[in-house]
């Protein structure tokens, strides 16, 4: 087994360790496991990546081409910070810092961290396995393992959110599975390996109608999981009710993993000569998603629902990017990375805002910067970053998406997209100013003391801000240098 396979083995060992270690040590297992995985990925890229080009694995079991590497890297980084943040977040609710009315519950803590690792392992598996059906199974498992995490608080509202989430995830999974079965049934050759490489290789022999039907089913199925319109009504409910680190993983990683499934099949359609159909379908859903989500952000009063609609909007941008040629694909990759980094950070802070004001209602939050300076400033910067303001990374990726559309010869579409982005920018700027500045509201001042700003909270968000800042400032120069090298042979 090469190093890529160990990315899955390590979390599985971690899950076993959860039941061998004393319950009080369980919260520290996920951060250690996820840190080890980052180190493994670093070793893998260092040893193989630069020597063999984009493919860092030759295994028939494990896939690690460019698409897989990008989504896996996102999973590893956001998974690590979510696990670190979870320690403080969950122990603040069930541990020694829990409110007096809620005694420490070690079994509940162990349950949470075990589910978190299962969720993490399934997210890693989704992007590294080569077998088409195992990819489907892993994407299914990302949904199934997170259902009880969404319902972790076990209130009536979380039950409602978890139920909707489960029903949509299973329905979407079934549609996607039927799409894959349709594709496998349309190939005249046996697909005993059933790898993505096999499918791309035989795609030329599949009838065009079968390819199109399969893609439509998979787009509907995985699109529902990726938060694309019109099947994304589960998204604000699940994101708003889940614990903040779980919301961060749902938004930052899980949506990308579902999109990964769509993009894999898009590659198969391109290989089969039906790329135009795939691009048109993906682009159309992308535009609808961006438009609907941008408009929905205007009406939100709950901070986590606002962030959830923004997640849908960003995945819509990813879909648009990958529908508009090579420049669009680069933009799509960057959009995935930048969105995952910024949005997970904002979800961590939404947890702090919840602790601070007792609810996620934005109408009760004002003047956070005055009470919690580090959290407030990070929140402001994060909101600007997710709105697409320079010098953060999302500005670059959104700029490249618009550029790709213009180069495609459809300026009207670029204008429509810019209008949607403008609505979103205004909406986020207004909310950022409202929450960050002004005289602190009664709810904010009443409970500021017990929240605090420990390293466990500030650390992950600082890392995320640094990364998105680096993507926004260094990347254009790296790109220019690369172009210069290429033009000089």
Contact positions vs other proteins (CB under 8 A): 131, 133-134, 137, 140-141, 144, 147-148, 151, 154-157, 159-164, 166-167, 170-171, 173-175, 177-178, 181-182, 184-187, 190-194, 207, 209-210, 213, 236-237, 240-241, 296, 299-302, 305
To other proteins, the closest distance from the beta carbon of 163 in angstroms equals: 5
CB nearer other proteins, residue 181 or residue 470: 181
CB nearer other proteins, residue 186 or residue 364: 186
Q: Burial code of 418-450, b = ≥16 C-beta within 10 A, e = fewer?
A: eebbebbbebbeebbeebbeeebbebbbeebee
To other proteins, the closest distance from the beta carbon of 73 in angstroms equals: 26
Nearest to 339, CA basis, from 395, 292, 296, 289? 395
- Contact (CB, 8 A) for 173 and 157: no
Nearest to 458, CA basis, from 385, 405, 382? 382
CB nearer other proteins, residue 90 or residue 115: 115
The H or E element spanning position 242 is none
- Contact (CB, 8 A) for 112 and 90: yes
- Contact (CB, 8 A) for 257 and 288: no
CB nearer other proteins, residue 131 or residue 397: 131
Residues 6+ apart with CB under 8 A from 388: 394, 395, 398, 421, 424, 425
Which three-class secondary structure state does DSSP give residue 184? Answer: helix
CB nearer other proteins, residue 305 or residue 355: 305
Return the structure tokens found at 184.
């496998």
CB nearer other proteins, residue 299 or residue 474: 299
Kindly report the CA angle at 421 between 417 and 426, in degrees rounded to 5?
A: 150
CB nearer other proteins, residue 81 or residue 127: 127
CB nearer other proteins, residue 180 or residue 282: 180
| DSSP alpha helix (H) spans, 191-301 | 196-202, 208-226, 234-241, 244-249, 255-271, 275-298
CB nearer other proteins, residue 76 or residue 269: 269
To other proteins, the closest distance from the beta carbon of 447 in angstroms equals: 24
- Contact (CB, 8 A) for 57 and 48: yes
To other proteins, the closest distance from the beta carbon of 399 in angstroms equals: 31
**Rounded to the nearest 5°, which phi and psi values hold at 317?**
-65, -40
Q: CB burial class (10 A; 0-12, 13-18, 19+) of residue 96?
A: exposed
To other proteins, the closest distance from the beta carbon of 126 in angstroms equals: 13
To other proteins, the closest distance from the beta carbon of 167 in angstroms equals: 6
To other proteins, the closest distance from the beta carbon of 140 in angstroms equals: 5
To other proteins, the closest distance from the beta carbon of 411 in angstroms equals: 34
To other proteins, the closest distance from the beta carbon of 445 in angstroms equals: 28
- Contact (CB, 8 A) for 388 and 425: yes
Return the structure tokens found at 437.
């500045």
CB nearer other proteins, residue 151 or residue 398: 151
To other proteins, the closest distance from the beta carbon of 13 in angstroms equals: 21
Tell how far CA 124 is from the center of its chain.
Answer: 12
Nearest to 94, CA basis, from 80, 112, 79, 82? 112
- Contact (CB, 8 A) for 222 and 139: yes
d(CA 304, CA 143): 19
Report the sign of the C-alpha dihedral through residues 87, 89, 92, 95, in that order: negative
To other proteins, the closest distance from the beta carbon of 361 in angstroms equals: 12
To other proteins, the closest distance from the beta carbon of 484 in angstroms equals: 48
CB nearer other proteins, residue 190 or residue 390: 190
């Amino acid at each position: 087994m090469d190093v890529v396979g160990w990315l899955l083995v390590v979390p599985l060992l971690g899950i076993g360790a959860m039941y061998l270690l004393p319950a009080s040590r369980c919260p520290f297992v996920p951060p250690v496991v996820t840190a080890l995985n980052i180190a493994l990925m670093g070793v893998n890229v260092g040893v193989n990546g630069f020597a063999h080009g984009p493919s860092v694995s030759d295994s028939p079991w494990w896939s690690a081409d460019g698409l897989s590497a990008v989504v896996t890297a996102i999973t590893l980084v956001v998974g690590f910070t979510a696990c670190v943040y979870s320690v403080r977040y969950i122990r603040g609710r069930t541990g020694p810092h829990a409110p007096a009315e809620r005694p420490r519950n070690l079994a509940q803590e162990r349950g949470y961290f075990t589910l978190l690792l299962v969720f993490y392992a399934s997210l890693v598996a989704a992007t590294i396995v080569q077998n088409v059906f195992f990819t489907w199974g892993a994407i299914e498992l990302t949904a199934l393992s997170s259902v009880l995490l969404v319902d972790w608080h076990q209130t009536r509202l979380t039950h409602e959110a978890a139920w909707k989430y489960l029903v949509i995830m299973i329905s979407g999974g079934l549609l996607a599975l039927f799409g894959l079965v349709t594709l496998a049934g349309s190939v005249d050759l046996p697909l005993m390996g059933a790898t993505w490489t096999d499918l791309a290789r035989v795609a030329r022999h599949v009838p065009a109608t079968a390819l199109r039907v399969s893609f439509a089913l998979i787009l509907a199925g995985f699109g529902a999981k990726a938060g694309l319109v019109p099947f994304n009504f589960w998204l604000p409910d699940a994101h708003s009710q889940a614990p903040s680190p779980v919301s961060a993983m749902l938004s930052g990683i899980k949506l990308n993993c579902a999109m990964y499934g769509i993009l894999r099949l898009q590659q198969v359609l391109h290989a089969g000569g039906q790329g135009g159909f795939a691009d048109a379908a993906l682009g159309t859903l992308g535009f609808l998603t961006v438009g609907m989500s941008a408009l929905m952000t205007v009406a939100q009063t709950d901070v986590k629902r606002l962030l959830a609609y923004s997640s849908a909007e960003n995945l819509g941008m990813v879909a648009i990017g990958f529908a508009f040629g090579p420049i669009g694909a680069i933009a799509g990759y960057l959009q995935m990375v930048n969105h995952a980094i910024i949005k997970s950070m904002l979800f961590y802070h939404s947890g702090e805002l919840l602790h601070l004001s007792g609810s996620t209602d934005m109408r009760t939050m004002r003047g956070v910067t005055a009470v919690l300076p580090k959290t407030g400033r990070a929140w402001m910067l994060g909101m600007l970053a997710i709105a697409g303001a320079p010098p953060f990374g999302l500005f670059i990726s959104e700029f490249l998406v618009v550029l790709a559309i213009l180069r495609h010869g459809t300026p009207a579409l670029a204008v429509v997209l810019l209008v949607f982005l403008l609505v979103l920018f205004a909406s986020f700027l207004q909310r950022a100013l409202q929450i960050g500045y002004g005289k602190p509201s009664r709810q904010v001042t009443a409970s500021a003391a017990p929240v605090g700003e420990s390293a466990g909270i500030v650390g992950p968000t600082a890392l995320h801000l640094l990364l998105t800042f680096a993507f926004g400032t260094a990347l254009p120069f790296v790109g220019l240098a690369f172009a210069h090298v290429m033009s000089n042979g």
